[in-house]
Amino acid sequence: MTAHPEPPTLSDGTISLRATTIGDNHLAAFIVEYHGAPVGAVEVTPEGEAGGSLSWRLAIDQRGRGFATRAVRVLADWALTGREQGGLGLLRVEARVDPRNEQSLRVATRSGLRREGVQRVVAGMGDDADATEYVVLARLADDPPLSDPASFRALLNSFLPRKRAISQLLVRDHDARVLLCQLTYKHDWDLPGGVVEVGESPHLAAGREVEEELALHIEPGRLLLTDWLPPWGGWDDALCLVFDGGVQDPAIVADVVRQEREIRDVAFCTPEQVRDRAADFTARRIESAMKNLTGGPAYTESGRDHPPTTV
């Protein structure tokens, strides 16, 4: 049996953690006490190599007082402390939280656990019989101290909302027709462009996508439209940024080298053809962008001036 350090009574000056068990199959469990009275319990159990899984529970009448956050932070600190300093010497501690449990999510993040992603499960696999996914949050032994501003920023960055960004180019010819692409993964036609990579400028992304998908080098101009896309067809919501692709000779279609995995066809389309070939929200977005060729950037939602209730 692996030798484990004897868990001390841990404290942050407000709450105390009094050890109840320690061993290979149950690394450590503690009673959480406030002024000597028990208010809950926390524990860390083995998780992979040199890792531990954190869990906690409080008496119902003791919730909302910050005890769980303090206890989980103290336990995580001790678990990640080297054995020579009296800790467990773990390299990683994590918690899996049902995304519907907002209170536990707050405890985990306020304890310094960074959100890493979502683990999907079949209902019945986890602690909650009807849960189909869990948010995974973790701290590593070599993460900066929580008092470090960089650590705090990284923590916030891990759970603050993120949206997909899509950059597109509005390319016209001298007859005011618009360049559209027929995509392989949907029936509708759309403006050339695509998803902005992490850390990439949306302005540069518009040009990169057109060059990758069509082998055309068109320098993006100014922003014409910011269009919010509500969740639709399995996609999360997103922001679509439409940049001016200028007026081009229609002969450029002959120079197109399609990325066949994504593009079926390319053509300059009249307003009537746009409405016929594109989804209604795409057609609205194109019409809104065209209106702003002589004005400043505009904001729409699903191509409409006012927030829509559906796509």
Same structural domain for residues 87 and 188? Answer: no
Which residues lie closer than 8 Å to 54 by C-beta, 6 or more apart? Answer: 42, 43, 44, 72, 75, 76, 79, 93, 94, 95, 113
pLDDT value at 1 more than 50: no
Same structural domain for residues 178 and 145? Answer: no
CA atoms within 13 A on the CB side of 100: 5
Residue 17 is assigned to a structural domain of this protein: yes
Residue 291 is assigned to a structural domain of this protein: yes
Same structural domain for residues 92 and 65? Answer: yes
Domains in the chain, number: 2
Q: What pLDDT does residue 279 have?
A: 93
CATH number at residue 16: 3.40.630.30
Same structural domain for residues 146 and 210? Answer: no
Q: What pLDDT does residue 24 have?
A: 54
Same structural domain for residues 130 and 25? Answer: yes
Residue pair 302/284 in contact by the 8 Å Cβ criterion: yes
pLDDT band at 310 (very low <50, low <70, confident <90, very high): low
Same structural domain for residues 230 and 146? Answer: no
Domain termination residue (choose one: 132, 159, 186):
159
Q: What pLDDT does residue 41 have?
A: 95
Domain termination residue (choose one: 108, 142, 159):
159
Same structural domain for residues 271 and 168? Answer: yes
Same structural domain for residues 178 and 240? Answer: yes
Residue 49 is assigned to a structural domain of this protein: yes
Residue 309 is assigned to a structural domain of this protein: no
- Which of 45-59, 239-253, 264-278 has the lowest average pLDDT? 45-59
Q: pLDDT tens-digit profile of 135-181?
A: 999 999 999 988 888 888 988 888 888 889 999 999 999 999 999 99
pLDDT value at 242 more than 50: yes
Q: pLDDT tens-digit profile of 80-122?
A: 999 899 889 999 999 999 999 999 999 999 999 999 999 998 8
Q: pLDDT tens-digit profile of 6-61?
A: 667 899 999 999 988 765 556 789 999 999 999 999 999 988 889 999 999 999 99
Dihedral of alpha carbons 147, 46, 107, 164, sign: positive
Averaged pLDDT score across all residues of the chain: 90
CATH number at residue 238: 3.90.79.10
Residue 70 is assigned to a structural domain of this protein: yes
Same structural domain for residues 274 and 170? Answer: yes
The arithmetic mean of pLDDT across residues 224-247, rounded, is: 91
Residue 77 is assigned to a structural domain of this protein: yes
Residue 242 is assigned to a structural domain of this protein: yes
Separation of CA 186 from chain center: 24
The arithmetic mean of pLDDT across residues 218-238, rounded, is: 90
Same structural domain for residues 16 and 155? Answer: yes
Q: What domain range is 124 assigned to?
A: 10-159
| 272-310 CB burial, b ≥16 within 10 A, e <16 | eebeebbbebbbbbbbbbbebeeeeebebbbbeeeeeee
pLDDT value at 66 more than 60: yes
Residue 1 is assigned to a structural domain of this protein: no
Q: What pLDDT does residue 7 have?
A: 62
pTM over 0.85: no
The arithmetic mean of pLDDT across residues 285-304, rounded, is: 90
Domain termination residue (choose one: 136, 159, 182):
159
Same structural domain for residues 31 and 145? Answer: yes
Same structural domain for residues 248 and 221? Answer: yes
pLDDT value at 129 more than 80: no
